[in-house]
Chains A and B, each alone.
Chain A
Amino acid sequence: MTDYIYERGNIENPNSKDGEENHIYLAKQIEEALPGKNFKVFCDPVNCKVVMETELSGEEKTTLDNTIAYHKSL
């Protein structure tokens, strides 16, 4: 297990909805960005922790960073 920790910010903001008014889950976005990777996401008021079963490569880590940055921007 490898933990990747990010500031909570706007992650899992209940107002973030897609065109069908469904909530946009960070986990779903990461799953789509990093297919085949098993992980769980835990958020508290300060941080969000992405717990990966395996360590990410540099490129994968960049993808994860970008995915989270995008999620926060929604």
Chain B
Amino acid sequence: MTKKKINDLALAASLTANMQLETDISGATANKINMQQIFDEIDGRVPNASVDVFTTTVGQTVFTLSSTPASVAGVSFYHAGQLRPPTDYTVVGTTVTWLDLPYTFVAGEEIIIKYNDVTGCAPPVTSVFGRIGNIVAAVSDYDASQVDNDSGVTGATVKDALDTLDSQSGVTSVFGRSGAVTAQLNDYDASEVNNDSGVAGTTVAAALNTLNAAISVTKTIVIYADSGNANYSNRRPRDVAGAGTYRYNYFIPYDFNTLTAAYIVLYPTSGAAGSGKDIDLHEEHTNSVGQSNVQYTSSDTTTVYNLGTVDTRYHLDVSPLLVNLAAGTDGGILVDTNAIGGTIHTMCMVITYT
């Protein structure tokens, strides 16, 4: 048993009184037991001893305690001031049963049962977070999940409350980037940017399309046939007999970007109208100064055409041959009719472009 010096005078006085009490009611043996209580009290534990006193009836074997002992081992059974060994009785809950039946109690004997009851005595604290002495709070003493949340944020614990706020924090990254995010290429498409300019369109993409449509005006150039040789009503066409040739010179303006259409306007006469008309097309052009007059050439001699109805306008499409054009291109188209059965009145060549 460890010996400890008692420095607290009040505590010493209390313990002395306690010893005196035990001496009075229990005699020398009980006094020995109370020495353990003394040291328990010195250790900081509160013994909170309960004492139940019974006056026996004849043959009584069962004694009901006023509360439940903290441990069976802590129960002391005194008969006529004599501490009985634990083999003489059992303790189950609040029931103490006398087993030493060879001895039968007679009426009026005093039984004292001492014990520490469960409800009245908190288990002693021997350390806090593994630390002893003058304990002060330290980091990691508690996790957030161990701290009750009495704030207005939803959650039973502080951890729950933090999770609630985290789920509501919103932005976790911008375009897949975190940290101090700065704008970079491809963050937005034009269709994702609001247009607050004066150009029509709700988005920048729409505004650009508006402008593109405005500047992408289809333009037309018209090349008239070479000098006519007969009147055709109020017109003066270049007539080509059933078999013959005619040519158009053309120049592509410097604002050219893309060819839209190219055709020759003509009116077939009787015999030239209708299907199966064999017309050869030969084209040549030059894109810039210093190039040959046949820098680019193209031919279509196998396509046959349906020139439609007599004296009805027809567009002879020559656009398939106009490839590799550029701003400033000059060239010529030869139209060679091969016995198409009649005269055609050729009016002009039309080129449209953007």
Residue of A at shortest CB range from B298? A42
Q: Are A38 and B303 in contact (CB under 8 A)?
A: yes
| Interface size range on A against B | 10 to 19
Residue of A at shortest CB range from B296? A44
Residues of A within 8 A of B299 (CB): 25-28, 40-41
Residues of A within 8 A of B284 (CB): 12
B301 touches which one: A13, A31, A42, A44 (CB < 8 A)?
A31
Q: How many residues of B contact A (CB 8 A)?
A: 20
Expressed in whole angstroms, the Cα–Cα distance for A26 and B298 within the complex equals: 10
Q: Are A28 and B301 in contact (CB under 8 A)?
A: yes
B302 touches which one: A39, A42, A43 (CB < 8 A)?
A39
The reply on A45 being an interface residue by CB < 8 A is yes
Task: Give the interface centre of B280, B297, B320 by most chain A CB atoms within 10 Å.
Answer: B297
Expressed in whole angstroms, the Cα–Cα distance for A39 and B324 within the complex equals: 18
The reply on A61 being an interface residue by CB < 8 A is no
A1-47 contacts to B (CB < 8 Å): 11-14, 25-28, 30-31, 37-45
The number of inter-chain residue pairs (CB within 8 angstroms) is 54
Residues of B within 8 A of A25 (CB): 280, 282, 299, 301
Residue of B at shortest CB range from A48? B297
Expressed in whole angstroms, the Cα–Cα distance for A30 and B320 within the complex equals: 19
Expressed in whole angstroms, the Cα–Cα distance for A5 and B296 within the complex equals: 15
Q: Are A40 and B298 in contact (CB under 8 A)?
A: yes
A45 touches which one: B280, B295, B320, B323 (CB < 8 A)?
B295
A27 touches which one: B291, B301, B320 (CB < 8 A)?
B301
13 other contacts beyond A43-B297, A44-B296, with CB at 8 A cut-off? A12-B284, A25-B282, A25-B299, A26-B299, A27-B301, A27-B302, A28-B299, A38-B303, A40-B300, A42-B296, A43-B296, A43-B298, A44-B295
Interface of B toward A, CB cutoff 8 Å: 280, 282, 284, 291-303, 320-321, 323-324
